[in-house]
Amino acid sequence: MPKIEVPEKLFFSLAGRNYTDDEMNDIFPVAKAELDGHEEGTIKIELNDTNRPDLWSVAGVARALKTYESGKIPHYDFFSSATKTQDNGGREHFNEESCLGVRDFSISFAAEGCTVTEELLLNLIQSQEKLCQNFGRKRKTVAIGIFRSDLIKYPLHYIGADPDKTSFVPLGMTEELTLREICQKHPKGREYGHIVSDKPRYPYLFDDKGDTLSFAPVINSAYIGAVEVGDRNLIVDISGPGIDDILLAASILACDMADMGFRILPIKVHLAKDTKYGREITVPYYFQEQTSCPASFVEKELGLRLTEEECIAALRRMGVEASVKDGIITVRCPEYRNDFLHAVDIVEDIMIGHGLMKFEPVLPADYTKGYLSKAEEYSRKVKTLMVGLGFQEMMYNYLGSRKEYVENMHISDEKVVYIANPMSENYEVVRPSILPSLLESESVSGHAVYPHRIFELGKVCFKDDDDNSGTVTRNHLGFLAADNQIGFNEASSYINTLMYFLRKEYTLQPVENDERFIPGRAARVMCDNVEIGVYGEVHPQVLESWGCSMPAVMAEFDLDLMH
């Protein structure tokens, strides 16, 4: 979950009052947060909701607390909408057709009238990074640049540029580089250049004088993009492949900066393609839709009878305007939020706004009895047998890298499930097998006395087109034994003993085209003409990939097919 560090003085100023640590512990759940520390004038806050990026800043948390305690909804008068357009003051931003298929949208707004202090600048950068890294999926869907408005001549131009013929001096350097060279030489280019490096053209933002603002989503220019303490007038640019994500990010930043004392100046953006909001929008732009909920649904979900007036008051404390007609509660989503997707989201805000401490604990009225599932009982029986065979139980993570689960095992990744937005490449794959985990343990155990015998019972996941979700999760047993003289016959004795005590009749079939095992030294275990497992001698290439120095046998069974 996102964590932020906020200066105590700035936070209390935005919240409208000072808080003790105990008071913050009590009230932070209103902002779906908790106090993570408070020392030397810095408050550390952990945010517990990935659906509320508006709370990932000092201004966002302070706004939530101030609104809850006062019951007064903050209003921002600089938003355009489908029925209202703010004066853009001649400020315009053109998206050219060349940006399509590269990074389709770039929008912006201006802010002026507040002197940038070091404290304010650090918190702006923190808010920018949290939105880009978490909400923006490491800049893939949202990238934000903040620039010095006094150095810019309107209109702004956003294009898909030739990466070898377009150059500028990037932030943090003094050497002029082409866009492609930035991806190769600049630290931010090496970190984020992969987002666009496979495109024939790269995203590029410049003003009407031809001065560079940024190469989104990688780096700002060293001239216009170097915001400094003492600056008063800024421009914020947000780019990405989806219009809703960048509009929300713009709204969050605009509201945060308004709370900090800036005057927000709208910019008219000309888009390069049609959207559901048209091809011309004035940013910040209110795009959220109303959501409704039957008042009776609130009582059903909360188990508490609240009057319509109490529901409206609770929503106001959450910063949400609402009305009731014919028993239906209709809410207007705040400008800085877009998380009302279902009636239950309204109920959640009513619950928090009403006060979590007002709900009295209720003991269960029904008698229930806990017991082990059949699968767990079977797993415990298998564990006991494996320990009896001299094996040591292991426990592993369910996420790993492609190198571990695919490349080192010399298998295809056709059925492997990848994480869409991994925090690192070390956790990008859901394991399709227990065997790589066992081999990893063996690879770092060469100093231990042989023989080695280890096993694990755990879950694996892989793609399955026959399942509604496209994937299946199964309970597997995997075991590995390593020694200088170990072979197929010893592995067969383990299988025979295990199946005997499990009272399973089985037959063996030869294994073909499985590069994990030595050809002719592996077998499939069949039960009622269904394959329930596989075992054999580990192929030397697999052992070499893992850095294992001793011969080994390994086996894996689908326990869900066995009991």
Instruction: Give the model confidence (pLDDT) of 278-315 as tens digits.
Output: 999 999 999 999 999 999 999 999 988 899 999 999 99
pLDDT tens-place string over residues 38-97: 988 899 999 888 889 999 999 999 999 999 999 999 999 999 999 999 999 999 999 999
Q: Which helix (H) or strand (E) holds 127?
A: helix 118-130
Sign, CA torsion 67/260/106/131? negative
For position 363, what pLDDT does the model report? 84
pLDDT tens-place string over residues 151-173: 999 999 999 999 999 999 999 99
pLDDT tens-place string over residues 354-366: 998 888 888 888 8
Indicate whether 424 pLDDT > 80. no
**For residues 390 and 393, what is the distance between their CA atoms, to the nearest angstrom?**
10
**For residues 69 and 480, what is the distance between their CA atoms, to the nearest angstrom?**
60
For position 489, what pLDDT does the model report? 95
- Sheet of 156-161: strand order equals 219-220, 212-215, 202-206, 156-161, 92-95, 267-270, 280-283
Q: What is the mean pLDDT of residues 445-473?
A: 92
Q: What is the mean pLDDT of residues 212-220?
A: 95
Does residue 155 have a cis peptide bond before it, meaning omega lies within 30 degrees of 0? Answer: yes
For position 55, what pLDDT does the model report? 93
Counting residues of the chain whose pLDDT is more than 90, the rounded percentage is 87
Q: What is the mean pLDDT of residues 213-225?
A: 94
Q: How far apart are the first and last CA of the chain?
A: 39
Cβ 553 vs Cβ 490: under 8 Å: yes
pLDDT tens-place string over residues 245-258: 999 999 999 999 99
Indicate whether 394 pLDDT > 90. yes
The pTM assigned to this predicted structure is 0.72
Q: DSSP letters along 288-332, please?
A: ---EEEEHHHHHHHHSS---HHHHHHHHHHTT-EEEEETTEEEEE
For position 370, what pLDDT does the model report? 87
Tokens of 154: 């309107």
For position 13, what pLDDT does the model report? 94
pLDDT tens-place string over residues 528-557: 999 999 999 999 999 999 999 999 999 999
How many C-beta atoms lie closer than 10 Å to residue 301's C-beta?
16
Phi/psi region, residue 456 (left: phi>0; alpha: psi -120 to 50; beta: rest), is beta
Domains defined along the chain, listed by start: 3-70 (3.30.56.10), 92-283 (3.50.40.10), 291-356 (3.30.56.10), 374-561 (3.30.930.10)
**For residues 486 and 447, what is the distance between their CA atoms, to the nearest angstrom?**
18
For position 254, what pLDDT does the model report? 97
Indicate whether 392 pLDDT > 90. yes
How many C-beta atoms lie closer than 10 Å to residue 551's C-beta?
17
Tokens 């106001």 correspond to: 316
For position 35, what pLDDT does the model report? 93
163 to each of 178, 179, 201, 238, 400, how far by Cα in Å? 6, 5, 6, 20, 34
For position 368, what pLDDT does the model report? 84
Buried b (16+ CB within 10 A) or exposed e, 194-227: ebbeeeebbbbbbbeeeebbbbbbbbbbbebbeb
pLDDT band at 446 (very low <50, low <70, confident <90, very high): confident
